[in-house]
Amino acid sequence: MKKKIRVVQYGVGPIGAAIVRLMRQKQALVIAGAIDKDPEKVGRDLGEVVGAEDAPWGVTVSADPAEVLSHPTDVVVHTTSSFLVDVAGQLMECLEAGACVVSACEELSYPFRKHPELAAKLDEAAKESGVTLLGTGVNPGFVMDKLMLGLSAASQRVDHAKAVRIVDVSLRRLPLQKKVGVGLTVEEFQREVDAGSVKHVGLPESVAMLSDGLGLDVDTITETIEPVIATEPFRGEFIEVQTGQVSGIHQIARGMAHGEERVYLELNMYVGAADPSDTIQLSGEPNLRMVIPGGTHGDTATASIAVNAIPALLAAPAGLRTARDLPFCFFPPLSPP
């Protein structure tokens, strides 16, 4: 019988909770620890914190990463922040403890343009410890980059890559609704955008991944963020929106090569969005287009992508890797990897 993979969950918010519930279904995994700084969670049983029907699990949430990581750990699943500078210390601590890491930090998905020095430092630390570090999720990490790279296998030439994602955030978690400005006034929205606290993080990273993966030679990446204004009131499980308030965002990232657009990524995330879908399109030889009606549910998919990546992560060469480097894979519940 193969040895079970010892996994630690770092961050037990809504996404972290979904991940640990999924990991409990994998016969090859054992959840060896959990880290979170929230005093409402620290000291409690992890199963109870995530609302599992079979709780308690006998795993206590700890606020002390060093103590948790002092025990044998094969993989850390990391879900704490979207911004790389905010989590670099957490990632370094995991790497130095000799654990592979799969992180949902969006800026880690392809950090080489925005954070080249930090990316090099993390890559070096991972290689020194002989482990692998991966940033991935649904977007970036799948819908608007890796899925298009997979589709390009049927291409002889790619001239332009386009993705349009439409998401009804009324069906999503509260932190995401806040991240896209739901319920703000237009003036509040603009202030939060200027402060960097309202936006979807990761579109420029996806543009960069596509440029390198498809050979599109992008030299300039631009991004615009505009509010979507509610035309009627909305009252959801977590939040209320009045007519005239912000119901979400319309965000576009473009990759330009010598003044010509080569990548176009458009994200519509707002309450009540009609006809949610994911559409990707490659122009070239031949032209290819794929549509996912209803779209890819971000919370479910992010948990799935993080957990499904574990076998490939353990098999990958040491260092900082991206979704572009790893194969598509599914981690069967009852079969060890």
Q: Go through the domains of the chain in sequence order and give each one's CATH number.
A: 5-137+300-322 (3.40.50.720), 146-295 (3.30.360)
- Mind listing the pLDDT tens digit for each residue in 113-161? 999 999 999 999 999 999 999 999 999 999 999 999 999 999 999 999 9
pLDDT the model gives residue 336: 59
Is residue 32's pLDDT more than 80?
Answer: yes
Angle of helix 84-96 relative to helix 116-129, nearest 10 degrees, comes to 10
pTM exceeds 0.85 for this model: yes
CA distance 321 to 102: 10
**Residue 106: how many CA atoms within 13 Å on its side-chain side?**
17
Cβ proximity of 193 and 223 under 8 Å: no
- Mind listing the pLDDT tens digit for each residue in 275-313? 999 999 999 999 999 999 999 988 899 999 999 999 999
Is residue 253's pLDDT more than 50?
Answer: yes
Q: What are phi and psi of 276, to 5 degrees?
A: -55, 140
Is residue 173's pLDDT more than 80?
Answer: no
Tokens at 183, concatenated: 């319920």
